[in-house]
Amino acid sequence: MQRVSSASGIWRNVASKARNNLFSLNDTTLRSFSAVSVVKAPKKLHKPEIPCDFLKWGSLGFCRTSKFATGFNPLQPKPLDSIVDVQRLEDRYPDEIASVWDDYHIGRGHIGASMKAKLYHLLEHRASECRYFVIPLWRGSGYTTMFVQVQTPHILFTGLEDYKARGIQAAPYFTVTFYTEFAESKDLVLIRGDIVFTSKLTDSEAKWLLDTAQSFYLNDVRYKLVERFNRETRDFEFKDVLQALDMPIL
């Protein structure tokens, strides 16, 4: 098993392609990378053939299933008024709305959360400049790497290996939608997470991914790693992400 530091060149290639919104099914550099086992990247890179457009990458309307969806559709978020009675909540205090929202999602196969509007606007601003990141998800004695795309009001998570293998046909494992209907009047943004493939992620893992992704965009120190991944790919080291999360470097 090789050390993560030896894969820095491959990570730079992944980061660069993500920044340019391009991934290729035939790119041997992407195919060669594994979170726990790596090989050196070839000197000559194949030209990407399949554009990866966030808006073509799966649908937020997916039902929970254990199978991969074939093809892809434009994002179709579920309107807030189809989930809760917005008019009945307009007279409630922000903490009451957040409590109702959280209680509604308990045991329903979804994740409910909320945040202050100013934090959402910070996330929105930073994501407009740095859309992509990678997060290790610890499992047992190792980790699997998740590829993250942030294009507010959505965040999509999928396994990096599936993304490399399937390109734009790789449906997300987990989708997140931010609802801003109460941002101006209540200083409150509601968050809904949907696990698309229960065979890929548990509810607790999805909640951890949501919290962790937000921490990298909202914490000034951690956000420097996001900036490096998107802007300074030559200097990006995946081991820095592991260290930020107190995970061992394999």
> Is position 14 within any domain?
no
Annotate 169-212 with DSSP letters as a single string. Answer: G---SEEEEEE-TTHHHHSEEEEEEEESBTTT--HHHHHHHHHH
pLDDT reported for residue 61 = 32
pLDDT reported for residue 250 = 79
Mean pLDDT computed over 151-165: 92
> Is position 25 within any domain?
no
pLDDT tens sequence across 45-64? 232 222 333 333 333 333 33
pLDDT tens sequence across 96-142? 999 999 999 887 778 999 999 999 999 999 999 999 999 999 998 89
Q: Give the structural domain span for 115.
A: 53-241
> Is position 247 within any domain?
no
> Is position 11 within any domain?
no
State the chain's mean pLDDT as an integer. 77
> Is position 44 within any domain?
no
Structural domain tally of the chain? 1
Q: Write out the two tokens for 57.
A: 């990458």
Q: What percent of the chain stands above pLDDT 70?
A: 70
Separation between Cα atoms, residue 184 and residue 170, nearest integer Å? 36
